[in-house]
Structure 1
Amino acid sequence: MKIVGVIPARYGSTRFPGKPLVSLKGRPLIQWTIEGAKKSKLLTDLIVATDDERIKAAAEAVGAKVVMTDSDLPSGSDRIHAAIKNIDCDIVVNIQGDEPLVTGELVDKLAQVFVNDPSMDMATLAHPISEEELQSPNSVKVVLNHKDEALYFSRFAMPYSRMKASELGTYEGCLKHIGMYAYSKKFLKQFCEAPQALIEKAESLEQLRALYLGAKIKVVRVQEASLGVDTPEDLVKLEKLLSQGR
């Protein structure tokens, strides 16, 4: 089984332009992600998919393969599909370029799903949710079936529409979703060629297109998320945490 990791890294981020190249303790953000992903034991290859020559140069400087992709691609999944469509592989792991603390262990948790069950369409990660995360529309929740497969994703505090988690005495009705994915190459093609689903548009969550298409999405439970960088403020917080040795 050939498992390829792809790091989508676009220059023109709306909230943080040039984000992959910003310095975190003296190294570009993209370098942190590459070095973390390279510690995976299951990836057979690692590729950076970018639209910018400066990001290409930074990635190649630390030994990463680079595929240039169109700036106008609508999502990270489309960028990944464009990068791997002519590459011989079975499984693709989407490694977010703004996750500088990603580890090889996290990547392998996603890849292992397909080693265990090659019939799976997708895999993703989630961790136990807090009351603050449950109530925040910025935190995506996922409800699972008894096989730890996704039933639905939402920004709402599901499934607690009638009874609160405090009344039921448990927060185990859902988990906090982490936006890392792995896909079979076959399903990634189907996903990217399909139009947006109504539920996807309504919730602004592209993984709902996968559920609409009938995908089986395995949800791997982890204890906590790695710290991502969405804004300059996130970068400052991460610098501080790393300086404290955390």
Structure 2
Amino acid sequence: MKSIAVIPARMGSSRFPGKPLAKIHGVPMIGHCYFRTKMCEELIETYVATCDEEIYDYINSIGGKAIMTSHTHERATDRTAEAMLKIEKIMGQEVDIVVMVQGDEPMVTPGMISQSLKPFKDDPSINVVNLMSKMDTVAEFESPDEVKVVVDKKSDAIYFSREPIPSRKKGVEDVPMLKQVCIIPFKRDFLLSFNQLSETELEVIESVDMMRIIENGDKVHMVMTDVKSYSVDTEEERVLIEKKMIGDSLMSKYVDRDG
């Protein structure tokens, strides 16, 4: 399979404006995502997709690859699809898989990306994969910043929500507390078809675009990862992640290159 990674990023976050360039151990967050994603040997290309010149210029300054995309995209999948088509023109060939890696996951590892690609090799019927991980605390489970997921016995997603699902209201303490990790590989044509579909009611209610797939009768295959990864949506979370990344072994391989 010819697989590429696209990291969509924009400066206009409502809760944390400019967060892609917010520094963690002296490196902008988008830099951590780019360097760590690029380490995955199964990828033939890694690009940052952005509508902001500041991000584009930064990625070029570290010797990375970036693609300018439209300012009108409201969903990361739309930006990823536009970038994929532009990258294919540069490469002169179509890809098989595009891995969408959110630009606010600075602790992503190359192993997580490899893990997300494995199901495509095992089952040709799979069109999209999403990593998930266990949550350690009830506070994290109840946070609307974390997208929770419930899966069936085949590890396909049943539902995504920002609410704590499944319910703990009946006194069940040991419910499966699973969250979405935003490493999401799509088959090329499935991503293009997905972006042609209208937004669905539950997608809008939950603000989770994977719901569009479920509501249209398709499957999102979930893969468990034991790697602890955290998204950054606020300055407080940036500070927390900076502490968690102290001594990070991957960071030592690229932090000096960033200067």
Aligned 1:158-197 pairs, distance under 5 A? 158-160=165-167, 163-166=170-173, 170-172=174-176, 175-197=178-200
Unpaired runs of at least 5, structure 1: none
Q: Which amino acid aligns with 1:4?
A: I
TM value normalised by structure 2 = 0.85
Match of 1:89 among 86, 95, 118: 95
**Contact 1:122 1:215 (C-alpha < 8 Å) held by counterparts:** no
Q: Secondary structure at the match of 1:8?
A: strand
TM value normalised by structure 1 = 0.89
Offset from partner CA, 1:29-52 (integer Å, 9 cap, x none): 221111101111211111110112
Q: Secondary structure at the match of 1:46?
A: strand
Q: Which amino acid aligns with 1:7?
A: I
How far is 1:136 from its partner?
3.4
Aligned to 1:70: 70
Runs of 4+ displaced beyond 4 Å:
none
> Does residue 238 in structure 1 map to residue 244 in structure 2?
no
| Cα distance between partner residues in 2 of 1:156 and 1:141 | 7
Q: Which amino acid aligns with 2:125?
A: S
What CA RMSD, in Å, does the superposition of the two structures yield over aligned residues?
1.9
Aligned 1:12-161 pairs, distance under 5 A? 12-86=12-86, 87=88, 88-129=94-135, 130-160=137-167
How far is 1:226 from its partner?
1.1
Unpaired runs of at least 5, structure 2: 89-93, 249-259
**Contact 2:133 2:224 (C-alpha < 8 Å) held by counterparts:** yes
Aligned to 1:227: 230
Q: Secondary structure at the match of 1:118?
A: coil
Report the number of matched residues: 241
Q: Select between 6-15 and 133-142 the one with higher mean Cα deviation.
A: 133-142
